[in-house]
């Protein structure tokens, strides 16, 4: 397979290179940039010296011909322009948020810009691998989920779908390593600001809120409104979503256990922990796993659900490769078999 990465200089791009370099079916990885044409990837990332020799190419329709799949690891706005141009000749996996929100007005409200055409939005399949596998198999364009939505949805979908939680009571407290903010320097992620510190940000304004609500609503067949609080923690990578919801009458610890375990018994990357055994971010570090832990409180009739992922892998590039595997009928775990890096 011949692959191309547009926006290869960011953390998502270099993680794609790492994963695709170990993929048994990938023979070429070409890299593209809108501003660093001719620059070697090793100039920015010396750790790939002697293993990756490509230089960045200019983005053009001509240069992007002949690839089987093109990854758009770009800021919002780029995919809205390029996805329609590229998808006629290759499969496209978009890691930005441009194609995730079905309603253009809702996208513009949260992202502050216009989205792709309605035609492209209708073609794009939301790439939550474990839950949209059949649609992904037939897709030409994938809207790769965001990192917070991946962690939240993998934990909550089975319970919302089965009615085991009251969706109106969902509150999410989520924390991410600083790579989630991207590679560009900012006061928020500056070492002196972030070290020995914990920051909440975008309170009630995070652009992943409508993405989570949209996908949960699809399984509930009704509108869903959530509270999502996002925090940056002083670590490089990793994400933990701690979720709270009320449990209706008729559901108990045993039923919750059965719902979660049966939902993921045949999936290679979602691991459900025994009751009260909680996961940590280090236990999925640099891997495509999502680990889910949970505690049901009989006294309050509330569920505490904890979902951990590596924000750069399962939350971005790893899920993109998983979706590529599904789209091309490859082994779903191809290129993603590495164990978590611990400690």
What is the distance between the alpha carbons of residues 238 and 231, in angstroms, rounded to a whole number? 12
DSSP state of 236: S
Report angle CA 141, 84, 317 to the nearest 5 degrees. 40
3-state secondary structure of 229: strand
What is the distance between the alpha carbons of residues 260 and 291, in angstroms, rounded to a whole number? 12
C-beta separation of 172 from 329 below 8 A: no
Handedness of CA 188, 191, 197, 198 (dihedral sign): positive
Whether residue 290 lies in the annotated active site: no
Handedness of CA 51, 54, 59, 61 (dihedral sign): negative
Strands of the sheet with 227-232, listed across from one edge: 199-201, 227-232, 171-176, 239-246, 302-309, 290-297, 270-272
What is the distance between the alpha carbons of residues 326 and 320, in angstroms, rounded to a whole number? 10
For residue 262, report the phi and psi dihedrals to the nearest 5 degrees: -70, -30
What is the distance between the alpha carbons of residues 232 and 93, in angstroms, rounded to a whole number? 27
The one catalytic residue in 29, 69, 80, 147 is 147
Q: Which residues are annotated as catalytic?
A: 147
């Amino acid at each position: 397979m011949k692959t191309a990465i547009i926006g290869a200089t960011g953390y998502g791009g270099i993680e794609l290179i790492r994963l695709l370099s170990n993929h048994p079916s990938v023979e070429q990885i070409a890299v593209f940039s809108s501003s660093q044409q001719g620059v070697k990837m090793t100039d920015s990332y010396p750790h790939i010296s002697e293993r990756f020799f490509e230089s960045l190419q200019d983005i053009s329709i001509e240069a992007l011909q002949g690839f089987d799949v093109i990854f758009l690891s770009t800021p919002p706005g780029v995919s809205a322009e390029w996805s329609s141009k590229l998808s006629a000749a290759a499969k496209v996996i978009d890691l930005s948020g441009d194609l995730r929100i079905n309603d253009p007005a809702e996208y513009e409200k949260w992202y502050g810009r216009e989205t792709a055409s309605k035609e492209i939005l209708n073609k794009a399949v939301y790439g939550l691998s474990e839950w949209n596998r059949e649609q992904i198999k037939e897709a030409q364009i994938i809207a790769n989920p965001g990192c917070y939505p991946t962690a939240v949805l993998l934990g909550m979908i089975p319970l919302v779908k089965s009615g085991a939680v009251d969706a109106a009571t969902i509150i999410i407290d989520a924390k991410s390593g600083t790579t989630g903010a991207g590679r560009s320097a900012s006061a928020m992620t500056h070492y002196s600001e972030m070290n020995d510190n914990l920051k909440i940000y975008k309170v009630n304004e995070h652009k992943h809120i409508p993405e989570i609500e949209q996908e949960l609503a699809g399984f509930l067949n009704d509108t869903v409104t959530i509270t999502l609080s996002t925090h940056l923690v002083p670590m490089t990578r990793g994400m933990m979503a701690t979720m709270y919801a009320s449990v209706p009458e008729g559901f108990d610890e045993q039923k919750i256990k059965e719902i979660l375990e049966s939902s993921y018994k045949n999936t290679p990357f979602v691991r459900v922990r025994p009751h009260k055994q909680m996961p940590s971010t280090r236990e999925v570090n640099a891997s495509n796993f999502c680990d889910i832990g949970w505690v049901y409180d009989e006294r309050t009739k509330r569920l505490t659900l904890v979902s951990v992922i590596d924000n750069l892998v399962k939350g971005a590039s790893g899920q993109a490769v998983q979706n590529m595997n599904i789209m091309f009928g490859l082994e779903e775990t191809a290129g993603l078999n590495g164990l978590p890096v611990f400690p």
